[in-house]
Structure 1
Amino acid sequence: MSAEKNSAEPEVHPESEECPGEDSFGFGDDLELNRFDGLPFSSRYYKLLKERKTLPVWKVRCQFEDVLAENQLVIVSGTAKTGRSTQIPQWCAEFCLSAQYQHGMVVCTQTNKQQAVDLALRVADEMDVNIGHEVGYTIPLETCCSSDTVLRYCTDDMLLREMMSDPFLEHYGVIIIDQAHERTVSTDILLGLLKDILLQRPELRVVVLTVPPMTDKLLKHYGSIPLISLEASSPAEVVHSNSSNKDYFYSALRLVLEIHRTKEGGDVVVFFASAEEVHCASSILQREGTRLGGELDQLVPVVLCPGPGGLLPVLTQQSGSTKSRKVFLSTQHGEDVWWDTESVNFVIDTGVQKKMVYNPRVRAHSEVLQSISQCQGDIRKQLSGPTGKCFCLYPEANPSESSPQILESNITPTVLFLKRMEIAGLGQCNFIDRPDPEGLMQALEELDYLAALDDDGNLSEIGIIMSEIPLDPQMAKALLASCEFDCVSEMLTVAAMLSAPSCFLEPAAGMSHEAVQCHRKFQHPEGDHFTLINIYNAFKQSQREQYLTVEKWCQDYFLDYSALKTADAIRSELTDTLNRIELPISEPSFGTKTNTHNIKRALLAGFFMQIARDVDGSGNYFILTHKHMAQVHPLSSYGAQSHKLGLPEWVVFNEYTLSENNCMRTVSEISPQVFIQMAPLYFFYNLPPSESKDILQDMLDPEASNKEKKLRAAADDSGCTVVTQTYDRCVIQ
């Protein structure tokens, strides 16, 4: 990065000769000055400029600038390694500069926070400016920008969050949506809302960056708009498997070892279906690498999966030996991290991915194994360059169209956000793929139960406040309720710990017993939510201890320092949010009987839809909302203590996953009386009939329950059917 520079008048830019029509500032020709900070360019700038001019995207620079000047919306389509994510944002910054930023600055979205940071660092270097000044980035829990920032990289969800205070994104003159083919929920919403924003702001420019398989879908969605196609680099030699290989995992590992034995130079990338497979493959390759003959170079596996903070490891990991071959092991989230990696000569693509798909009927996720999309397959084939080889462990026609996340996710937070945007004056979101009607109705129903909607289906006052809090609606409602029950400090901790990655480290082989003993010291008899508070409080206490480093303390107790640090940052952000919207924050009183009762009431205010009852005393839990049976997750404090203390009859849980033996995660004991007190009546009466509901009905209204039982008994004798009364809160328009 360039050294700190003093401000000066801008001068002629050395790239202006590339396009004759480009504006010239004309302050003099003796010095070549940077237009963004007015200082002379460094020698590194010219070195990088020479490299930039070799990128495929550079050939369309003049065409892009002409199209951008004349059109509101532009699609740029190209494969990986074309330079579109680094160069086009710079040209857009020059476009805004030529208008003296009258219409705003430039923002470029990314689907991955690592890419947002890496791209900002690279572009600041190429523009010869200081990171955090003219070029910056914004990712969850971290902002590196200033009032001088004219080009900002950010994650797509952060730009959506920004729309809460600036619905029409009037701070920006050019909005770049990168990686549109990833089809994240946030990117799809942005693409849908920008269609309406463009009508309201004729001066705004939107640039969509994608890969060829996604181009037709975007053109169909937006209509007749300019398309700039980047020249693809020469594809690698691609070898497809003749049949679907169910044993893809070991086939990929065998292929790695075969490549290594050929002694042909270059690193290897292997794409597996999940992070678990990546870590397993790393262990196997490390073991096999020690058995290779001395005549072969060292084999160095490098895991490339997002860590607890969501960031990928740095790609510059080196082994101790100068003679080594790195084997990068990644998942479906890693295709676009290779934009600056030149050492890769081999790509092994298993062609499958494990995804969590949401089922709105049972309000649960399940893990499914599915084929990758054509977009993903094409991107992976480009990674090894024209001289490399790509081995696809699937038939040539195997990849399908990319499935948008909005069709596979819980869209309740999305619906809450869109309801907020309607209040701000934005029209309907023009989805590229409309959400599933069943999922949409479930989301509206859930928001209605949470009192986030009024009788007309619009956001209520509570709903507006919930939309300000960067949490899922249920947790946002629980945090709001904690203001009433004087347990805000504790609920902030619970919300932060559940929003961060798991704080429990998986112990090394042979250390499982020690890890369990350490974790048991934090276990709270009331349940997992309280255990998380214990862990966080102990973590903060360790920070105050002078004789022990926090990292060492976490290591000794088999806790993830990075995850706890993330939880601490989330808690600070949530505290700032509550202060901003002027909600009271009570003093901590964790450990008192009143506080414990209040925490449970606050939890039930948001999570009353996630209640289960142990029907036989052996841990077989019946979930009231959809009548599924579930078990407590083995890592729960109840799982560890079940033989000693027994399991509670009634519990509230944070998460239910179908694929993990129907397990409930983060479970705490509740009393049915408090559940009845906190759950809305119109939710309770719409629960499906069950023995558990009858028990609750007895507590709620013993006389009515006795009448209903008599009616049922009479109906059983006569063979008739009794229709139970239900209560509807409102009709969603």
Structure 2
Amino acid sequence: MEKKSKPYKTKGGTATEPVPLPIHKHRERLVRAVKQNPFVVVTGETGSGKTTQLPQYLYQAGFGKGAVIGVTQPRRVAAISVAQRVSEEMGCPLGREVGYQVRFDDCTSKDTAIKYMTDGCLLREILADASLSRYSVIILDEAHERSLNTDILFGLLKKLFQKKKHGDRQAPLKVVVMSATLETEKLSEFLEDCPVCTIPGRTYPVTEIFCNLIGPKDRESSVYVKEVVKVALDIHTNEPAGDILVFLTGQVEIEKACDVLYEKAESIDYRHDVEDRSVKGLLILPLYGSMPTDQQRQIFQPPPAGIRKCVISTNIAATSLTVNGIRYIVDSGFVKQLNHNSRVGLDVLEVVPISKTEAKQRAGRAGRTCAGKCFRIYSREFWEKCMPEYTIPEIQRTSLTSVILTLKCLGVHDVIR
């Protein structure tokens, strides 16, 4: 089983040069908005540079002096990988000026000024220090995912601001909410009618193709795993150079797809009549939350000359992480989602169709540096009949036991109101 976590490199694409991030043009406007307002909503497509650049802009503007800029992520993989990326950009060792904290792993020091962490870690800090006195700015990232902890933090930070508004002389905490796709008007209204800063994202078109390989009745993992492998292989043999990102539901399905794709790619007789002859091999890389950190780093490395990279990932690559060089998306149409089962009284992971907004998020991973393509393995009928418009927030589909107990610990006794 060990071999499955390693990259699958078949016999034998050149890496694409990174383009300037869209957020660079809006630096002064963003810093000014944070200085002048207690709450700011920043919205922009994934890949615009919000997560890595905005904390650095605020640090350079002086927000990190004697205090910490905290950035929350719903997923531990994103918190770790983004902290590594920002520490490299700032030229400092990880754990000094830039650090991260996830469950069971604290890579920070007394010098840490930019701290990436899971939203659960910040919630636990509030239990010990309700005013978050160590922080000058809290950035709630990936707010559109509406994770349980992020939703609770919205309410707690708003309550904290209202307390300071009524006579607390302590330096006010700044709160920035960042999202790729969110109903910004509603959020702005909830956060004291705060300003909304929009960052334009993708500039290259993405062609969306319905492959009609699965319909409303095809819900078995064996069916959609087989079809995504078939489409990925077809892209590899027939499309020009550019990396592939495949979306699947979980570790088991990803490793199965890696095995099958590796076997089939090894047996390819690369034709000489294909227009693009630069692609002679395939580097297959799995990506899921429980992978060791050093193996996750390989995802971000450019492939060798003549090799096409194919990343097979869970939904983590749709929002939290940006992989450069992706030109082709293969969308299975499914995701693993936590839902409460009232019959057994437990939260269970279920494979369900993604929402239409999630599908657009996935397509948006292509076309960062050139025109891209998104191959949806499902039919248009599946899109219309099975996929909801928006993802149901976690707070509406999971057990609220832990939420109520957390609020009680924080002194919020009238939970209903």
TM-score (norm 2): 0.81
- Residues 124, 317 of structure 1: CA spacing in aligned structure 2 closer, same or farther, 3 A cutoff? closer
Deviations, residues 78-119 of structure 1 (Å, cap 9, x unaligned): 011100001111222234448x54xx3211111122221222
C-alpha separation between the residues in 1 aligned to 2:303 and 2:83? Answer: 30
User: Is 2:315 the counterpart of 1:332?
Assistant: yes
* Residue in structure 2 matched with residue 307 of structure 1 by the alignment: 290
Q: Is the 8 A contact 1:189 1:429 kept in 2?
A: no
Deviations, residues 513-539 of structure 1 (Å, cap 9, x unaligned): xxxxxxxxxxxxxxxxxxxxxxxxxxx
Q: Given the alignment, which residue of 244, 262, 265 partners 1:286?
A: 262
User: Is 2:197 the counterpart of 1:228?
Assistant: yes
What SS class does the counterpart of residue 212 from structure 1 fall into?
Answer: coil
* Residue in structure 1 matched with residue 127 of structure 2 by the alignment: 164
Q: Is the 8 A contact 2:285 2:299 kept in 1?
A: no
C-alpha separation between the residues in 1 aligned to 2:98 and 2:413? Answer: 32
Pairing 1:645-660 to 2, within 5 Å after superposition: none
What SS class does the counterpart of residue 283 from structure 2 fall into?
Answer: strand
Measured after TM superposition, the shift of residue 123 of structure 1 is: 1.9
C-alpha separation between the residues in 2 aligned to 1:242 and 1:359? Answer: 33
- Residues 367, 259 of structure 1: CA spacing in aligned structure 2 closer, same or farther, 3 A cutoff? same
Q: Is the 8 A contact 1:298 1:321 kept in 2?
A: no
Pairing 1:430-509 to 2, within 5 Å after superposition: none
What SS class does the counterpart of residue 32 from structure 2 fall into?
Answer: helix
Measured after TM superposition, the shift of residue 173 of structure 1 is: 1.4
Structure 2 gap segments, 5+ residues each: 1-17, 166-171, 272-278
* Residue in structure 1 matched with residue 43 of structure 2 by the alignment: 77
- Residues 121, 273 of structure 1: CA spacing in aligned structure 2 closer, same or farther, 3 A cutoff? closer
Pairing 1:638-717 to 2, within 5 Å after superposition: none
Q: Given the alignment, which residue of 144, 147, 151 partners 1:184?
A: 147
Q: Given the alignment, which residue of 85, 95, 101 partners 1:132?
A: 95
What SS class does the counterpart of residue 260 from structure 2 fall into?
Answer: helix
Pairing 1:92-111 to 2, within 5 Å after superposition: 92-97=58-63, 100-101=65-66, 104-111=67-74
* Residue in structure 2 matched with residue 250 of structure 1 by the alignment: 226
* Residue in structure 1 matched with residue 111 of structure 2 by the alignment: 148
Question: Which one-letter code corresponds to 1:183 in the other structure?
Answer: R
Question: Which one-letter code corresponds to 2:353 in the other structure?
Answer: S
C-alpha separation between the residues in 2 aligned to 1:180 and 1:430? Answer: 23
Q: Given the alignment, which residue of 264, 273, 277 partners 2:240?
A: 264
User: Is 2:395 the counterpart of 1:419?
Assistant: no
* Residue in structure 1 matched with residue 250 of structure 2 by the alignment: 274
C-alpha separation between the residues in 1 aligned to 2:232 and 2:414? Answer: 50
C-alpha separation between the residues in 2 aligned to 1:65 and 1:321? Answer: 39
More moved, 356-365 vs 138-147 = 356-365
Deviations, residues 228-271 of structure 1 (Å, cap 9, x unaligned): 01012224422242866335433322211211221511121111
- Residues 196, 178 of structure 1: CA spacing in aligned structure 2 closer, same or farther, 3 A cutoff? same
- Residues 176, 74 of structure 1: CA spacing in aligned structure 2 closer, same or farther, 3 A cutoff? same
Question: Which one-letter code corresponds to 1:215 in the other structure?
Answer: T
C-alpha separation between the residues in 2 aligned to 1:71 and 1:240? Answer: 43
User: Is 2:339 the counterpart of 1:357?
Assistant: yes
* Residue in structure 1 matched with residue 25 of structure 2 by the alignment: 59
C-alpha separation between the residues in 1 aligned to 2:183 and 2:252? Answer: 29
Q: Is the 8 A contact 2:303 2:309 kept in 1?
A: no
Q: Given the alignment, which residue of 346, 355, 358 partners 1:376?
A: 358
* Residue in structure 2 matched with residue 199 of structure 1 by the alignment: 162
Q: Is the 8 A contact 1:271 1:331 kept in 2?
A: yes
What SS class does the counterpart of residue 313 from structure 1 fall into?
Answer: helix
- Residues 318, 121 of structure 1: CA spacing in aligned structure 2 closer, same or farther, 3 A cutoff? closer
Question: Which one-letter code corresponds to 1:250 in the other structure?
Answer: K
Q: Is the 8 A contact 1:72 1:204 kept in 2?
A: yes
- Residues 95, 294 of structure 1: CA spacing in aligned structure 2 closer, same or farther, 3 A cutoff? closer
* Residue in structure 2 matched with residue 392 of structure 1 by the alignment: 376
* Residue in structure 2 matched with residue 348 of structure 1 by the alignment: 330
* Residue in structure 2 matched with residue 113 of structure 1 by the alignment: 76
Measured after TM superposition, the shift of residue 300 of structure 1 is: 3.1
Q: Is the 8 A contact 2:244 2:326 kept in 1?
A: yes
Question: Which one-letter code corresponds to 2:24 in the other structure?
Answer: W
- Residues 330, 67 of structure 1: CA spacing in aligned structure 2 closer, same or farther, 3 A cutoff? same
Structure number, greater radius of gyration: 1
- Residues 277, 143 of structure 1: CA spacing in aligned structure 2 closer, same or farther, 3 A cutoff? same
Q: Is the 8 A contact 2:206 2:366 kept in 1?
A: no
Question: Which one-letter code corresponds to 1:382 in the other structure?
Answer: G
- Residues 322, 126 of structure 1: CA spacing in aligned structure 2 closer, same or farther, 3 A cutoff? closer
Measured after TM superposition, the shift of residue 354 of structure 1 is: 2.8
Question: Which one-letter code corresponds to 1:324 in the other structure?
Answer: I
Deviations, residues 567-600 of structure 1 (Å, cap 9, x unaligned): xxxxxxxxxxxxxxxxxxxxxxxxxxxxxxxxxx
- Residues 120, 147 of structure 1: CA spacing in aligned structure 2 closer, same or farther, 3 A cutoff? same
- Residues 280, 131 of structure 1: CA spacing in aligned structure 2 closer, same or farther, 3 A cutoff? closer
Measured after TM superposition, the shift of residue 182 of structure 1 is: 1.6
Measured after TM superposition, the shift of residue 428 of structure 1 is: 6.0
Question: Which one-letter code corresponds to 2:253 in the other structure?
Answer: E
Question: Which one-letter code corresponds to 1:82 in the other structure?
Answer: S
C-alpha separation between the residues in 2 aligned to 1:393 and 1:112? Answer: 27
Measured after TM superposition, the shift of residue 292 of structure 1 is: 1.0
- Residues 63, 287 of structure 1: CA spacing in aligned structure 2 closer, same or farther, 3 A cutoff? same
C-alpha separation between the residues in 1 aligned to 2:134 and 2:71? Answer: 13
User: Is 2:58 the counterpart of 1:89?
Assistant: no
Q: Is the 8 A contact 1:352 1:372 kept in 2?
A: yes
C-alpha separation between the residues in 2 aligned to 1:185 and 1:320? Answer: 37
- Residues 130, 309 of structure 1: CA spacing in aligned structure 2 closer, same or farther, 3 A cutoff? closer
What SS class does the counterpart of residue 229 from structure 1 fall into?
Answer: strand
C-alpha separation between the residues in 2 aligned to 1:217 and 1:87? Answer: 26
C-alpha separation between the residues in 2 aligned to 1:167 and 1:311? Answer: 35
- Residues 236, 304 of structure 1: CA spacing in aligned structure 2 closer, same or farther, 3 A cutoff? farther
- Residues 309, 164 of structure 1: CA spacing in aligned structure 2 closer, same or farther, 3 A cutoff? farther
More strand by share: 2
Question: Which one-letter code corresponds to 1:377 in the other structure?
Answer: A
- Residues 311, 392 of structure 1: CA spacing in aligned structure 2 closer, same or farther, 3 A cutoff? farther
C-alpha separation between the residues in 1 aligned to 2:283 and 2:123? Answer: 40
Q: Percent identity?
A: 28
More helix by share: 1
Deviations, residues 277-313 of structure 1 (Å, cap 9, x unaligned): 2122112111211221154722332111122669973
- Residues 260, 128 of structure 1: CA spacing in aligned structure 2 closer, same or farther, 3 A cutoff? closer
Deviations, residues 171-191 of structure 1 (Å, cap 9, x unaligned): 111110011112211111111
Question: Which one-letter code corresponds to 2:246 in the other structure?
Answer: V
C-alpha separation between the residues in 1 aligned to 2:404 and 2:154? Answer: 16
Measured after TM superposition, the shift of residue 374 of structure 1 is: 3.7
* Residue in structure 2 matched with residue 208 of structure 1 by the alignment: 177
What SS class does the counterpart of residue 391 from structure 2 fall into?
Answer: coil
User: Is 2:391 the counterpart of 1:407?
Assistant: no
- The structure showing larger relative contact order (alpha-carbon pairs under 8 Å, at least 6 residues apart) is 2
- Residues 235, 351 of structure 1: CA spacing in aligned structure 2 closer, same or farther, 3 A cutoff? farther
* Residue in structure 2 matched with residue 241 of structure 1 by the alignment: 210
Deviations, residues 214-241 of structure 1 (Å, cap 9, x unaligned): 4244234335210001012224422242
Q: Is the 8 A contact 1:372 1:400 kept in 2?
A: no
